[in-house]
Amino acid sequence: MSMGAMDAHLERMRRHPDIAGRVLRLEYTSVSLNPKAKLLGRRSLLEQFDPGRAADRPGLAAFEEELACPWALYHVRRILPVAKADPTRRGRAMRSVERVDVGRASALGRRLRSVSERHGVPVEVDERYGRVRAWVQRRGPALPTLGSGRYSGVGSRAGTGPL
């Protein structure tokens, strides 16, 4: 989307909060699986909505309703090989996304925190919307590198995956 059209796009989303809720959930799911997958490059669409602004509240409420669906716990793996043409650059990422479980967000979050704590793995928690993420192994600076093996609980519709 053109950044020049951002204001008009946000205004359309404010006029159609049901659509805004779905779009925000899709981005939230995407960012849960890959924190760099924000819809607007370095900024997320969700960051453009202000809970203190009356015009934004219906879209945010629709987003929260969208998140009241079954969630899934995913094991995400990524390998970043070197580029074939230039070993100093990274090549195309290879990914694996495996659904581990489906259930209520709170139950999956507790499960992930409990398992992570037993194994000494730090956990990231989005207190506002409920996402829980544990990074088993962070991507290293050198190439090739094993990607961020991580577990993440994310909202998905009726037990279906977000992909």
Counting the structural domains of the chain, the total is 2
Domain interval for residue 79: 71-159
Asked if 62 and 76 sit in the same domain, the reply is no
Instruction: Indicate if 78 and 142 belong to the same structural domain.
Output: yes
In what helix (H) or strand (E) does residue 28 lie, and over which residues does it extend?
helix 17-33
In order, the DSSP letters of 130-147 are --EEEEEEPPPSSSSEE-
3-state secondary structure of 101: strand
Question: Do 50 and 104 reside in the same domain of the chain?
Answer: no
**CA dist., res. 66 & res. 145, Å (int):** 35
Residue 153 has pLDDT above 70, yes or no: no
Check whether residue 87 and residue 44 sit in a common domain: no
Residue 89 and residue 40 in one domain: no
pLDDT 10s digits, 75-87: 888 888 888 899 8
Closest CA to 125 of 138, 112, 139: 112
Q: 140 and 62 in one domain?
A: no
pTM reported for the whole predicted model: 0.79
What is residue 54's DSSP assignment? G
